[in-house]
A and B are shown apart, each in its own frame.
Chain A
Amino acid sequence: RKEVEQDPGPFNVPEGATVAFNCTYSNSASQSFFWYRQDCRKEPKLLMSVYSSGNEDGRFTAQLNRASQYISLLIRDSKLSDSATYLCVVRPASGGATNKLIFGTGTLLAVQP
């Protein structure tokens, strides 16, 4: 089982739609969770950290479910500029791995006019 798993998509949605991505992780002791956005042939950019209580930043909402070991990202009122690959990222908790991040392979979102 992969440490971090995401549906690769693509998710094709019309402008204005609400879309949600889920990501599951295998290490129940994982400590930190993030969503990154990566545009085609560019570097990943931090979108938001995911806190236990859930957090919102404008049209973006991230949630963590420790019991089921998944995190989610909800995008409301999708814009054309939201088209990108969304990477789920997890920091494992054990020993020397505490400073490493594990990246999912990403979910591709294509917002259409």
Chain B
Amino acid sequence: DGGITQSPKYLFRKEGQNVTLSCEQNLNHDAMYWYRQDPGQGLRLIYYSQIVNDFQKGDIAEGYSVSREKKESFPLTVTSAQKNPTAFYLCASRSTRNYEQYFGPGTRLTVT
């Protein structure tokens, strides 16, 4: 089955700890994206990557970092510098034929 996987589904961390969220796709898509969603708000773009070994900051990149060493993988690290890390994190990839984005099931991060 082709698709996007994110793990874990739920993640709990103490304040001050870095945490890495996994995103893997086997759709052969070049572009991948990270969003966060907070209650009552639209999805906000954190980082995106259009090709391996390249990535750009989105609208809310502060406190986050990414890497894109393989086409299939785009992990997101939430650092201790992120002031409000508790959120629903969504990874997406984009078809090369059009601009439709397809999402993974998300990771719900809670930091206390």
A: which residues have CB within 8 A of B?
4, 31-32, 34, 41-46, 49, 87, 91, 96, 99-106
Residues of B within 8 A of A42 (CB): 105-106
Given contacts A49-B98, A99-B50, A100-B58, contact A44 B42 (CB under 8 A): no
B: which residues have CB within 8 A of A?
31, 35, 40-43, 45, 48, 50, 56, 58, 88, 90, 94, 98-106, 108
What total of A-B pairs shows CB separation below 8 Å? 46
Given contacts A104-B42, A106-B42, 16 further A-B contacts (CB under 8 A): A34-B100, A42-B105, A43-B90, A43-B106, A49-B100, A87-B42, A87-B43, A91-B99, A96-B56, A99-B31, A99-B48, A99-B94, A100-B45, A103-B42, A103-B43, A105-B42
Residues of B within 8 A of A45 (CB): 103
Give chain B nearest CB distance to A99 CB in angstroms. 6
Give chain B nearest CB distance to A44 CB in angstroms. 5
Residues of A within 8 A of B105 (CB): 42-43
Bound-state CA distance A34–B56 (Å) is: 23
Give chain A nearest CB distance to B18 CB in angstroms. 24
Given contacts A44-B90, A99-B31, A100-B48, contact A105 B41 (CB under 8 A): yes
Give chain A nearest CB distance to B54 CB in angstroms. 12
Q: Which 10 A-B pairs have the closest CB atoms?
A: A43-B103, A103-B43, A103-B42, A105-B42, A32-B99, A43-B106, A91-B99, A43-B105, A44-B103, A46-B100
